[in-house]
């Protein structure tokens, strides 16, 4: 197998720890390693590290080299600017096609993964990817669906249809539709039917299958990617990459390919998955590891009186944070910013980031 790991983006809902220069995927938010490192370590149980390609922005490449010195720099692909996951995956596919050709593999199985996901059941993850690879061999694009345990409104959903096949203990179903983040009442209905999975954004496919889907559903993007690939190895490659990229329309792989494809299959799985998209999710993960009787999630030194269900997170291990009479509160302390908000409003942290941009306070971004 081969893998593309998407490591772009900033993670604005995890500000002030996640910044432009140090985005969430490069931070040790919930373990001793960054989420990118954890992602790579999971994948090396399935394939050699030389088969893993990371797509990221130029500002993050140096940190990636530092965190993963064992990875070939040629496998860190720099996208000139953010254009969504469909163009980014397209660049990654080009690198993998060259790697596979050099290895004598004309039509490899490839997985697309995100660098900012937490997966606590690593062995189960590896087994479900192997099962998905078997189904992908038959020409399906397989997405890993996460079995929901609550009516979460922060995730997209996948509705499954007929059973396609069973393989090594897993069942693959035809995808009926993808649904964007629903309101709570609708999410509760989805959970009750038992026919919906959370959309993890992870895909497994054959190279020939995904290339055909790009040509069918994103013909202009496919042509632009072909232009870039044709220039590879030449003196004008960087110039052609930049100029072609600047003309690209932003597009996600979900909207651009998955929602249009007739080859979609979903494989529901329980792998301890979490899309670490906001501070409330971080609080849940930390509390599961070392929470206290009051339901608090603590990183750093904290003294609390009548403080419950709160996240207290400080990067300064010499600093004590004392709280009195708090419930469902998020406190994130960094050297230059202190964030305090109610957990109900943790999705609104990105509004602070937007306000900072409007006010020109870039030093805090």
| HSE, side-chain direction, 13 A CA sphere, residue 207 | 20
Please report the pLDDT score of residue 214 as a whole number.
Answer: 97
Contact in structure between 50 and 99 (CB atoms under 8 Å): yes
Residue 265 has pLDDT above 90, yes or no: yes
pLDDT at 289 over 90: no
Assess contact for 109 and 29: CB atoms under 8 A: no
236 exposure class (CB count in 10 Å sphere: 0-12, 13-18, 19+): exposed
Domain ranges in the chain? 2-275, 279-364
Q: Which CATH superfamily is domain 2-275 in?
A: Spore Coat Polysaccharide Biosynthesis Protein SpsA; Chain A (3.90.550.10)
CA–CA gap between residue 112 and residue 55 (Å, rounded): 11
What local confidence, expressed as pLDDT, does residue 144 receive? Answer: 96
What is the DSSP-derived secondary structure letter of residue 26? Answer: G
Mean predicted lDDT score pLDDT of the chain: 93
User: What does the pLDDT look like over 307-321, one tens digit per residue?
Assistant: 999 999 998 888 999
> How many CB atoms lie under 10 A from the CB of residue 262?
9
At 78, the pLDDT band (50, 70, 90 cuts) reads very high
Who's near 149: CB < 8 A, 6+ residues apart? Answer: none
């Amino acid at each position: 197998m081969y893998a593309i790991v998407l490591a772009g983006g900033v993670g604005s809902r995890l500000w002030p720890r996640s910044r432009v220069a140090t985005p969430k995927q490069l931070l040790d938010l919930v373990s001793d390693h960054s989420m990118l490192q954890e992602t790579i370590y999971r994948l090396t149980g399935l394939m050699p590290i030389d088969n893993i390609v990371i797509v990221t922005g130029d500002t993050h490449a140096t940190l990636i080299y530092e965190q993963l010195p064992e990875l070939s720099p040629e496998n860190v692909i720099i996208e000139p600017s953010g254009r969504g996951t469909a163009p980014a995956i397209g660049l990654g596919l080009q690198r993998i096609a060259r790697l596979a050709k050099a290895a004598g593999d004309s039509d490899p199985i490839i997985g697309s993964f995100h660098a900012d996901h937490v997966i606590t059941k690593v062995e189960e993850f590896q087994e479900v990817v192997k099962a998905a690879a078997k189904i992908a061999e038959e020409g399906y694009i397989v997405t890993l669906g996460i079995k929901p345990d609550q009516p979460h409104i922060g995730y997209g959903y996948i509705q499954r249809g007929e059973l396609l096949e069973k393989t090594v203990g897993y069942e693959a179903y035809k995808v009926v539709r993808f649904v964007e983040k629903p309101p709570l009442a609708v999410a509760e209905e989805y959970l009750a039917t038992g026919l919906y999975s959370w959309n993890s954004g992870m895909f497994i496919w054959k190279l020939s299958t995904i290339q055909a889907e790009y040509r069918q559903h994103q013909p202009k993007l496919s042509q632009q990617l072909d232009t870039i690939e044709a220039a590879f190895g030449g003196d004008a490659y960087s110039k052609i990459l930049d100029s072609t990229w600047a003309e690209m329309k932003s597009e996600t792989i979900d909207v651009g390919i998955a929602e249009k494809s007739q080859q979609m299959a979903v494989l529901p799985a329980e792998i301890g998955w979490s899309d670490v998209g906001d501070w409330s999710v971080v609080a849940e993960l930390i509390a599961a590891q070392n929470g206290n009787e009051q339901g608090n999630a603590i990183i750093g030194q904290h003294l609390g009186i009548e403080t419950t269900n709160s996240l207290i997170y400080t990067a300064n291990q010499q600093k004590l944070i004392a709280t009195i009479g708090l419930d469902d509160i998020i406190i994130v302390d960094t050297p230059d910013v202190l964030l305090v908000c109610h957990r109900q409003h943790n999705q609104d942290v990105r509004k602070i980031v937007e306000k900072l941009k409007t006010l020109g306070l870039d030093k805090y971004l």
